[in-house]
Structure 1
């Protein structure tokens, strides 16, 4: 095992552990068994994206009190890189984790606070604002964010880049993601009808376009009104941390996420890490909190193996077991 170079590059386990915590636990297990483990916490536009970009870019993290998804004040976070770039997580202002399960109201949840954070970035002088759109509680078609930005006078000459972790189009946002945000079947139907109404009022129609359904249509609204560039969040983050350069010095990649499922292949981090690693012929193992993907799905992603580990002790044990397996 001595000298085996392992790049530990997971996403966060949503709602439970940050990418850094996951990476450190896996690396501790690998190193204890003799592997040379290097950590590279990652994100794909969801929770933790701003933290990863802060580590890559430097800059200042600024906190602003904004309106949460249910209208209550929350403290959102904004990264000002100092070179004209800013970044923020929609989850910081409009995240599902901000609303207790018993108080979730999918019909009411608003992206207004995310619009306030974008406006704060522009007011601070940002010329390019990166908006990570995973982990939201919302399916308002971006209406709340658009209202907040309109009140602030728009974005001026700033450019928006929306870091998307899904391919879902605008009109399918409620159907695909509404249930995990607490929506009943009747609410999904009502939310879908509202998305169509919102789309009909926008200056450009986002329906049918990939990635416009992220954060319950927020990405599509920002594209329609402000010409936002909708990009792969995973690719943007991997470029920021110079992932491909790290691969050149790596024998094995260990990545991971909270749940490996059918959505993983639709632009989530694990799928993008696997694809980039395959181009360099570096094998990839995924350590996940829960596996909900069959062997055929795992094979399509190009993963060498999948290990389930849902807490810190299990993650460290998974790292050690993986190192022993490789040594054998």
Structure 2
């Protein structure tokens, strides 16, 4: 084996995907110096998504000023990939929790700046916009972003306004005829790794709003607002996207992008694989290394390891998953294309200690795997020479 693709998820709270790629590459090169190694960092749609894409395929980061989650101006950015036609936007760069500076306001927070980022990217020449939906501080159903792009929301008195989580129930009508002309023929794709619907017990408000400062009393109000928004949008525009997989992502941003802007909601790893041309890379690969902090039954829903393995399986390329920990019931991973799973924990210690030695343990584990690969290859070569 000479050609390796490295495409791990981050080990949350321990190592970034970029860092893991570097460690894996060093471990492989230590034993196969002439190996061709391609590292593809993966981000989950939150902070670091732009940098991960730029590291994987090249491009540039562009700075700009947009409206923050509290309607104040903030410094922000987006990425333009090497093709010059694809832009990557982190919604957290305009409506993320860090921008609240510790003063959470899920009732009054807006995604208006996310729409401004999209418009900046499109005016800069982008024909496809990839939006990461992680780390949001808002619960406005994506109305702020839509308003920035020309969608008009009116209250019962016919006055236009920008809805927030606390005012969604005031939306009496929605008009999309004023949508920015620059968006024509632009494809919008949202990275979404959850399957929650817009509202209800598994919806945006009940599941995620408490993390954004919502009280027990506030959550039902936010949920009612999202329900009302859906009913109004369905009546005015005919869009029925509340139950879509991921509609409840990022305070209903998934719903807003789909229902108001016609975006496609896709699993984050599939967006990454398409953007880097993963299928084509597989044609010349001998082996894929992937991984995540812990592989368990939840991983089978289609996160990084499984998403990578499903693609590789089509091309018959073996996949080695190097993980921080292994949970129960992972048998299905092998059916999806995972060839083998190797945990990096080399001694039985608590997580608080294991995370401190994770980098060294990762390298040693990958080196062990490569040693095995090399030994098998050498044995095969010996057998061929004797025959």
TM-score bracket for this pair, using the shorter chain length:
0.7 to 0.9
Aligned-residue offset at 1:128: 3.1
Q: For the residues of structure 1 that align with 2:62 and 2:311, how far apart are their CA atoms?
A: 33
CA contact (8 A) 1:111 1:142 kept: yes
Q: Which moved more, 1:114-123 or 1:40-49?
A: 40-49
CA distance, structure 2, for counterparts of residue 307 and residue 115 of structure 1: 41
* Unmatched tracts of structure 2, length 5 or more: 153-177, 346-353, 373-387
Stretches of structure 1 lacking an aligned partner (at least 5 in a row): none
The answer on 1:221 being equivalent to 2:265 is no
Alpha-carbon shift at residue 5 of structure 1 (Å): 4.4
| Cα deviation 1:197-255 (Å, max 9, x = unaligned) | 22222232321122322222112112212222333332222122122233334343222
User: Residue 21 of structure 1: which of 7, 11, 19 is its match?
Assistant: 19
Measured against aligned partners, the alpha-carbon deviations of 1:182-211 in whole angstroms (never above 9, x if no partner) come to 545544433322211222222323211223
The 3 A distance-change label for structure 1 pair 256 and 321 is closer
Written as runs of structure 1 = structure 2, the 5 A alignment for 1:273-292 is 273-288=308-323, 291=325
| Normalised TM-score (structure 2) | 0.70
Structure-1 residue corresponding to 2:378: none
Measure how far apart 1:141 and its partner are.
0.9
Q: 1:53 to 1:299 in 2, by over 3 A?
A: same
User: What is the SS of the residue equivalent to 2:288?
Assistant: strand
Aligned-residue offset at 1:273: 1.0
Q: The residue matched to 2:126 in structure 1 has which SS?
A: coil
Is this contact kept in 1: 2:296–2:328, CA < 8 A? no
Change (3 A) 1:74 1:229: same
TM-score (norm: length of structure 1):
0.81
Q: Tell me the residue number matched to 2:7.
A: 9
Q: Residues 5 and 160 (structure 1 numbering): CA distance in 2 closer, same or farther, change over 3 Å? A: closer
Deviation at 1:295, TM superposition (A): 2.0
What residue is the counterpart of 1:200 in the other structure? Answer: 231
Mapped to 2, the partners of 1:173 and 1:262 lie a distance apart of: 23
The 8 Å contact of residues 129 and 160 in structure 1, kept in 2 or not, is answered as: yes
Q: Is the 8 A contact 2:62 2:78 kept in 1?
A: yes
Matched, 1:150 2:150: yes
Q: Residue in 2 aligned with 1:238?
A: 273
Say yes or no: does 1:161 pair with 2:188: yes
| Higher Cα radius of gyration | 2
Q: How many residues align?
A: 322
Q: Secondary structure at the match of 1:103?
A: coil
Aligned to 1:295: 328
Change over 3 Å in CA distance of 1:94–1:243 after alignment to 2 = same
2:166 is matched with none
Q: After alignment, is 39-48 or 260-269 more displaced? A: 260-269
1:323 alignment counterpart: 367
For the 8 Å contact 1:141–1:195, the answer to whether it is kept is yes
Distance 1:104 1:15, change over 3 A: farther
Change (3 A) 1:315 1:27: farther
Tell me the distance in 2 between the aligned counterparts of 1:321 and 1:225: 47
The reply on whether 1:92 has 2:71 as its aligned counterpart is: no
